[in-house]
Structure 1
Amino acid sequence: MVGNSVVCLSAKAPKEMGSNSAEKFYRIPEGKGPHSVGCTDLMTENAAEGSFLRLYYPSCNATDNEEAPWIPDKEYYQGLSDFLNMYRVVGERLFQYYVGSVTCPAKPNADFKPGEKYPLLVFSHGLGAFRTIYSAICIEMASQGFIVAAVEHRDESASATYYCKKKSVSETEEESTPNMEKEWIYYRKLKSGEEERCLRHKQVQQRAQECIKALNLILKINSGEEVMNVLNSDFDWNKLKDSVDTSRIAVMGHSFGGATVIESLSKEIRFRCGIALDAWMLPVGDDTYKNSVQQPLLFINSEKFQWADNILKMKKLSSNDSNKKMITIKGSVHQSFPDFTFVSGEIIGKFFKLKGEIDPNEAIDISNHASLAFLQKHLSLTKDFDKWDSLVDGIGPNVISGTNIDLSPSQALLSVCVSRKSWLCGWLKAALIFRAELSSCHKEELLSE
């Protein structure tokens, strides 16, 4: 009886406090740098082979308080529900109830801030994620003077994504009917008996190509070439002309996105360095380990996610190279990097490993500061990010050099690969099941709202 009461209270608390979601209680942190931040979406071509990304950028100070929606379409709720093996009708309602009004602190389509050349950072999301849920990291980088292109991958590793295709309409309908519609692509589950490494390696190849394609797209805009955005947007892309410092380009990603960073570095020398956040190494191909990643690379790991075999693969890639670093954030978990860590309460967050023992804001600050210091060194930036150089060496509160994982031969043999759902939101599956198992009266009330 006590347990059921706690569940009902936690589920109803936001509504009883006058909110339809957690938005009033928990917020994605604002950027701490000197620049205001804007964001806009860019999609090219009416086919899955085009590019799709969210651009975060230094912006002129906006006069209104509008912020971008965090999860922009209900189909993303459906995709997350599929990914987590939830009924869509239940999952969609729960996501809408819990995070439906959450926004990210970036101004949609705000005017781009001209006057200087900005380094470019391409960001790759994790398995089951999509372009918007690492906004805390991307916004911080943009506030510090980076243009950030957060790619939404179409390799069927995102919970959901889409492209715009032309509708087939008759001539009489053509004038009154929009001629574009969204074609949704949802997460592809492993088939029975399918070997995961083969699928993930194929996907990471496509992901790397999508990162390179995003790089080419931004550089094309930078050179003044006209690019057709198939999405309706008020953003003036012409203002990006000559705004990118083409000699200062890096790639960054989390989990499956960390593997994508490594593959992208191996394929594209214009990426001068990379940052892999809690990388999942299974998708990385054998050829990549054969001295094909020459650029500097920073591994930033959580304390609770990694295992011996995964760490040994990182070390195999970075052995005897002083420009390849590894640090671990003490008290952190795999979900200390995506935004979900900021929009959940303390009890649910810790119970489902969405939050670690360390404060989420401190964890993301350590990660961001180490990243900025690393980028300053290897992109030759003239900033003051070198004040955080010690973090890159694993020196400071709540950070260690290398790993906390026991790498002894016996432990390496015993290490077991983490379940494929755990690196994005295994915690979320449990959380949604937890919420779905409310009393029948509460479920009826929630679904009838």
Structure 2
Amino acid sequence: MILFSWWFPWWKADRDLITPICGNTDGVVGSIVIRNSVGAPTRVFYPADPSSVKGKKQTPMLRQGISMFVRGYMIMLLSQSTPSWMVTGLFWFIIPWLFTNPIAYAKLPRCFNDAEVKKGEIYPLLVFSHGLSGTGCEHGLMGVTLALRGYVVAFPHHSDLSSSLCEYVDPKTKETKRLLYKHPNFHNYDTELRQDQVEWRAKEVNEARAILLKHPQLGKVLDPANVVVGGFSFGGSTAGEVASQDGDKYRAAVFVDGWWKVNFPQYGIEVDLPKRLHVDKMFLPVIMFSSSEMYNIPNIREKQEVIKSQCPNSDARLMEGTCHGNFIDTTYWIPSCMSRFVNLSGQMIHPHKFYGKYIRMVADFMDKQCKVGVADERGEKAVQV
């Protein structure tokens, strides 16, 4: 069973995550990619018309493909200590393994590229920012599950040099180019680096919102009064920046294990993130998730409490026994015993059961804030028009 679920992770996610939250519904999800003013992509999930998916390709878990995904992380992790020719050589050496790995072929359950939007309903929108080194693919199962619950979910792939690898289409030349992760110089540290990136990311979140509200198909079914901003880790800081700066554009916020402080005491580096939220109170309704791993770091815990005090209308949840990685659906890409072994997930909890609990809590929070209709017997939720 472990081997079967590893080779077919979309099947296990459908059985253990989506069905318990959304029911045995015949609903399907569509997926498209939009690009912002600098050509960076945003992956979007939305409720789709079931009759439109015939002949459509099922959406892959890794939007850029496994080779680009792994290459970005290899360059990010090895570029400071290993010559570039050696990194390239190692990459080509492991290419055969990559394409025999089941993750290369993993698909998102019930999700199809370019399916038609399900009309006759109006949907709230969640714009969700990925973490440091991320690509947005780490939250694909979250996007599909929430779309089946009656939401449109957008994941900007940030072009601020905080992603392991972001491919973008140059607006002028129309060429596809790549942006790699920018390593900070800890011995001559730019204290504004992460704050500048947060502000860049915040612009991309707001732009994704604006583009979708004007989109020729999705714009017709989106409710501009029910837009939620969210983010994981560095994306949580991004969501905090957006919510404190442009709170009038959003209904609520979701902060997932936010990175609220750049803290490298060995280099004398301590920087609050984002600066605005540490100074100005934010009155949007917000749900804040914290892993035990992050909360047990004294300086991080201190800043989490500060952020909590800065958000008077907040619901803070400390998820006991969890690691930072418990909040990304990468725990469905590999066997649960392996995710525990490498400390991606907590040792004492089952990563799949926890992830389902977490997604359900996000969905219930959004239902409450966006005033989505009562679930029908299949578990689907939407506002009738």
TM-score by length of 1: 0.69
1:297: which partner in 2? 286
Equivalent pair of 1:130/1:161 in contact (CA under 8 Å): yes
Letter in 2 for 1:317: I
**Alpha-carbon shift at residue 322 of structure 1 (Å):** 5.1
Task: Indicate how the Cα distance of structure 1 residues 322 and 289 shifts in structure 2: closer, same or farther if over 3 A, else same.
Answer: closer
SS in 2 for 1:117: strand
**Alpha-carbon shift at residue 374 of structure 1 (Å):** 1.8
Q: 2:48 aligns with which of 25, 42, 59?
A: 59
Q: 1:277 aligns with which of 256, 273, 293?
A: 256
Measured in 2, the distance between the counterparts of 1:251 and 1:277 equals 11
Say whether 1:212 aligns with 2:209.
Answer: no
**Alpha-carbon shift at residue 294 of structure 1 (Å):** 1.9
Equivalent pair of 1:28/1:136 in contact (CA under 8 Å): no
2:154: which partner in 1? 149
**Alpha-carbon shift at residue 241 of structure 1 (Å):** 3.9
**Alpha-carbon shift at residue 27 of structure 1 (Å):** 5.3
SS in 1 for 2:168: strand
Say whether 1:199 aligns with 2:193.
Answer: yes
Equivalent pair of 2:36/2:208 in contact (CA under 8 Å): no
Say whether 1:84 aligns with 2:74.
Answer: no
Counterparts of residues 89-108 of structure 1 (less than 5 Å) = 89-91=89-91, 93=95, 95-98=98-101, 99-105=103-109, 106-108=111-113
**Alpha-carbon shift at residue 346 of structure 1 (Å):** 3.5
RMSD: 2.7
**Alpha-carbon shift at residue 258 of structure 1 (Å):** 0.7
Q: Which has the higher contact order (CA 8 A, sep 6+)?
A: 2
Measured in 1, the distance between the counterparts of 2:42 and 2:171 equals 20
Equivalent pair of 2:284/2:311 in contact (CA under 8 Å): no
- Greater CA deviation, 49-58 or 192-201? 192-201
TM-score by length of 2: 0.80
Regions of 4+ moved over 6 Å: none
2:177: which partner in 1? 183
**Alpha-carbon shift at residue 89 of structure 1 (Å):** 4.3
SS in 1 for 2:217: helix
Structure 1, unaligned stretches of length 5 or more? 1-12, 169-179, 222-237, 386-449
Measured in 1, the distance between the counterparts of 2:333 and 2:185 equals 33
**Alpha-carbon shift at residue 343 of structure 1 (Å):** 1.2
2:82: which partner in 1? none
Measured in 1, the distance between the counterparts of 2:41 and 2:28 equals 23
Equivalent pair of 2:238/2:274 in contact (CA under 8 Å): no
**Alpha-carbon shift at residue 146 of structure 1 (Å):** 0.4
- The superposition leaves residues 372-416 of structure 1 with CA deviations (integer Å, 9 ceiling, x where unpaired) of 22222222333359xxxxxxxxxxxxxxxxxxxxxxxxxxxxxxx
Counterparts of residues 299-338 of structure 1 (less than 5 Å) = 299-306=288-295, 307-319=297-309, 323-338=313-328
Please state which structure has a larger fraction of its residues in strand: 2
SS in 2 for 1:364: helix
Measured in 2, the distance between the counterparts of 1:151 and 1:116 equals 24
Structure 2, unaligned stretches of length 5 or more? 80-86, 262-271, 377-385
Measured in 2, the distance between the counterparts of 1:295 and 1:119 equals 16
**Alpha-carbon shift at residue 330 of structure 1 (Å):** 2.6
Measured in 2, the distance between the counterparts of 1:125 and 1:271 equals 18
Task: Indicate how the Cα distance of structure 1 residues 338 and 90 shifts in structure 2: closer, same or farther if over 3 A, else same.
Answer: farther
Q: 2:31 aligns with which of 31, 35, 39?
A: 39
Measured in 1, the distance between the counterparts of 2:276 and 2:54 equals 51
**Alpha-carbon shift at residue 204 of structure 1 (Å):** 0.7
2:238: which partner in 1? 260
- The superposition leaves residues 194-216 of structure 1 with CA deviations (integer Å, 9 ceiling, x where unpaired) of 43653111111111111011111
Say whether 1:374 aligns with 2:365.
Answer: yes
**Alpha-carbon shift at residue 263 of structure 1 (Å):** 0.5
1:399: which partner in 2? none
**Alpha-carbon shift at residue 100 of structure 1 (Å):** 1.5
Measured in 1, the distance between the counterparts of 2:338 and 2:283 equals 42
Say whether 1:130 aligns with 2:109.
Answer: no
Task: Indicate how the Cα distance of structure 1 residues 279 and 66 shifts in structure 2: closer, same or farther if over 3 A, else same.
Answer: same
**Alpha-carbon shift at residue 123 of structure 1 (Å):** 0.8
Task: Indicate how the Cα distance of structure 1 residues 104 and 90 shifts in structure 2: closer, same or farther if over 3 A, else same.
Answer: farther
Letter in 1 for 2:131: G
**Alpha-carbon shift at residue 257 of structure 1 (Å):** 0.7
